[in-house]
Structure 1
Amino acid sequence: MGDLYYVEHAHHIDETITADITLNPSHAIFKGHYPDQPVLPGACIVQLIKDVLASSLKTDSVLVKAVQMKFLQMIVPQENQRIALKIVYAAVDNYLKVTATLSIAEAPSFKFQGSFKTTNTNNQ
Structure 2
Amino acid sequence: MLFKDFYTILETHKTSGLSFGNRVEINKNHSVFKGHFPKTPITPGVLMLQIIKNSVEKTLNCELKLESLSHLKFLQMVDPHKNNILLFQMDITEENERIKVKSSSSFPDNTVVLKCNATFVKK
Q: Which residue is 2:74 aligned to? A: 71
Runs of 4 or more above 3 Å deviation: none
Q: Which residue is 1:10 aligned to? A: 12
Q: Is residue 2:68 matched to residue 1:96?
A: no
Normalised by the size of structure 2, how large is the TM-score? 0.92
Unaligned runs of 5+ residues in structure 2 are: none
Question: 1:24 deviation in Å?
Answer: 0.5
Alpha-carbon distance between aligned partners in 2 of 1:57 and 1:9, rounded to the nearest angstrom:
17
Alpha-carbon distance between aligned partners in 1 of 2:90 and 2:25, rounded to the nearest angstrom:
17
Matching residue's letter, 2:116: F
Alpha-carbon distance between aligned partners in 1 of 2:11 and 2:69, rounded to the nearest angstrom:
26
Q: Which residue is 1:117 aligned to? A: 121
Q: Is residue 2:31 matched to residue 1:28?
A: yes
Alpha-carbon distance between aligned partners in 1 of 2:18 and 2:118, rounded to the nearest angstrom:
15
Aligned-partner SS, 2:58: helix
Aligned-partner SS, 1:101: strand
CA RMSD of aligned residues (A): 1.0
Question: 1:56 deviation in Å?
Answer: 1.2
Q: Deviation digits for residues 82-113 of structure 1, max 9, x if unmatched?
A: 11000011111321111100101211111111
Question: 1:114 deviation in Å?
Answer: 1.9
Give aligned pairs, total.
119
Aligned-partner SS, 1:17: strand
Structural mapping, 1:40-79, within 5 Å: 40-79=43-82
Question: 1:15 deviation in Å?
Answer: 2.0
Matching residue's letter, 1:108: V
